[in-house]
Structure 1
Amino acid sequence: MDYLRSYKNIYDQNIILMYKGELTFDLVTSMIATLEERLEELEENRKVKKKFYNVATECIQNLYYHLDEVNADEIRISSYDSRSALILIAARKRFYSLQTGNYIPTERTAEIQQRLDDINAVEPEELRTLYKKALNEQEFSDKGTGGLGFIDIARKTGGQKLRYKFQPVTDNVSYFTLQVRLPRDV
């Protein structure tokens, strides 16, 4: 393997953070602190810094709280990888790109897709109303969260559409990827 070429590729893509592995509370805390430090070096606009920090924090916490362990034997990976997540955050010229990926039970894809489609269907100014409605309904998931994460991410990105994909791995397991773009010219 040509490590120098790999490094140059990562450098050229201006990748701020890249991680694949199991998420722990301490690791999430460390990632968020690292992102905050890197952002101080990269971004001058205070408003963009604040939004980026909030969106990145929400994306990483979303992964941490909603990471489902899947049957590793079924998808022929290690049990460690079955509980792992992928995080890739890059600074582009006009936007920041935040991408996450993780295995999920296929039975959850329809619910997540509907939630994301509902959020993507509303205009940016309607996201605030949707957020307040979700907050007032106070319905909590089996993970103890209020389901505000995706809405909050869409709000903070100025109504950018949340890009996502579900890739079937087996009948029972899918791989979920989410891509969020935060404009740098807010």
Structure 2
Amino acid sequence: MTEFENNKRAEDTAAEKPAAPAQPATVPPLQGMPTPPQSAGQVPPAGNPYANASQPQQPSGAPFYGAPAQQPQGAPQNMPGMPLLYLTGGMKFGWAACGFFLGPIAILLAWLTNQSNFPQAKSEAIKFSLIGFLATFVIWVLLIVLFGVAACSALTYGPSYYSYY
């Protein structure tokens, strides 16, 4: 329907009914962009709109193997361009790897780069970079202890073996 036809219909209904508030002209949405519901009565249907009709539908409450984890609808989510609410698993692994390879510099880096994020995301970034650094520290201590044990056993074994000649 064109805007002219919309205006004509609005004039016809205005003559029949008492004065009603005018509706703003609608602009067609950009192609590929989702559009919000036009009124409170129009709500998109629940479920997957791309589901194949030949496939059996799973009950909404029954999980099945390979199903993606679903968050509750009221749960907050990270939005692009906004401060982080929480860290994902990959981000946590990244901060741990950064802490493992960079050490205390990674802890400082996590603290400085997460200033604008929410406190939970900032503390998780610092915590996982600290975990990575402590893992490096534990590995170095284990290597030094194992090398020390090997060196001590080699030193004590040598003189006793060669003393029989």
The TM tier, using the shorter chain, reads: under 0.3
TM-score by length of 1: 0.22
Which structure is larger by alpha-carbon Rg, 1 or 2? 2
Structure having the higher strand fraction is 1
Higher relative contact order (CA 8 A, sep 6+): 1
TM-score by length of 2: 0.24
